[in-house]
Amino acid sequence: MEVARTGFALPTPDEVEQLYALATSRPPQVEDADVAAVYAALYDLALDRADLVAVTAREVGELVGFGCGHRWHWQEQTDEWSRDLAERLGDDAAQLEGSFAVQLLAVHPRFGRQGLGFELLKQLMVASAASVYWLLTADADTPARRLFRRMGYRPLTLDSEAPNGEPGLILLHG
């Protein structure tokens, strides 16, 4: 596994979209292909950030695991989703200020349940050098949610909307 930061061997948005589409192509976390496109577009925007941290896993050149994120500062979040999130969180929004937002974590189905997701998230957290982390996940019993719980993430709120329009769960660590 290689840990990459902005300017180094980062995957293309197309690679990230393909991986996310594969990672969410089977139950229990099946999502439409357009959700993969949303995450690829968010990653493409994040490529311009100096504070982007990304971790990758490749098998014979193929992207089989990926995680990325960046520091979260409310004043930089001008999109509608972020404004809505701040409103829904109310006073709890302050807990996210300056934290590291885990934007995406995806593992190819061939490599599922082999510890790759754990290793990617651990490496992402170490590389970010943050003390507080947060992420959004489906409000369902998925392997990802079980991973986050094992790694010490705890629910902050249950009423957030995930990019696929389904109920989401904001998890906080630290």
Q: What integer pLDDT is reported at residue 166 of this predicted model?
A: 74
User: For residues 48 and 29, what is the distance between their CA atoms, to the nearest angstrom?
Assistant: 29
Cβ burial, residue 102 (10 Å; 0-12/13-18/19+):
buried
Q: What integer pLDDT is reported at residue 167 of this predicted model?
A: 80
Report whether 169 contacts 145 (CB < 8 A): yes
User: For residues 156 and 77, what is the distance between their CA atoms, to the nearest angstrom?
Assistant: 19
Residue 119: DSSP 8-state? H
Give 46-67 pLDDT, tens digit per residue.
999 999 999 999 988 899 999 9
Strands 167-173 and 133-138: antiparallel
Give 74-115 pLDDT, tens digit per residue.
999 999 989 989 998 999 999 999 999 999 999 999 999 899
* Percentage of the chain lying above the pLDDT 90 cut: 72
User: For residues 65 and 28, what is the distance between their CA atoms, to the nearest angstrom?
Assistant: 18
Angle at the Cα of 95 from the Cα atoms of 54 and 71, rounded to 5 degrees: 25
Give 153-173 pLDDT, tens digit per residue.
999 987 667 766 778 899 999
Phi-psi region of 68 (alpha: psi -120 to 50; beta: other; left: phi over 0): beta
Token pair listed for 147: 């991973």
Go through the domains of the chain in sequence order and give each one's CATH number.
Answer: 2-173 (3.40.630.30)
Model pTM score? 0.91
Q: What integer pLDDT is reported at residue 93 of this predicted model?
A: 96
* Percentage of the chain lying above the pLDDT 70 cut: 93
Mean pLDDT of 123-145: 93
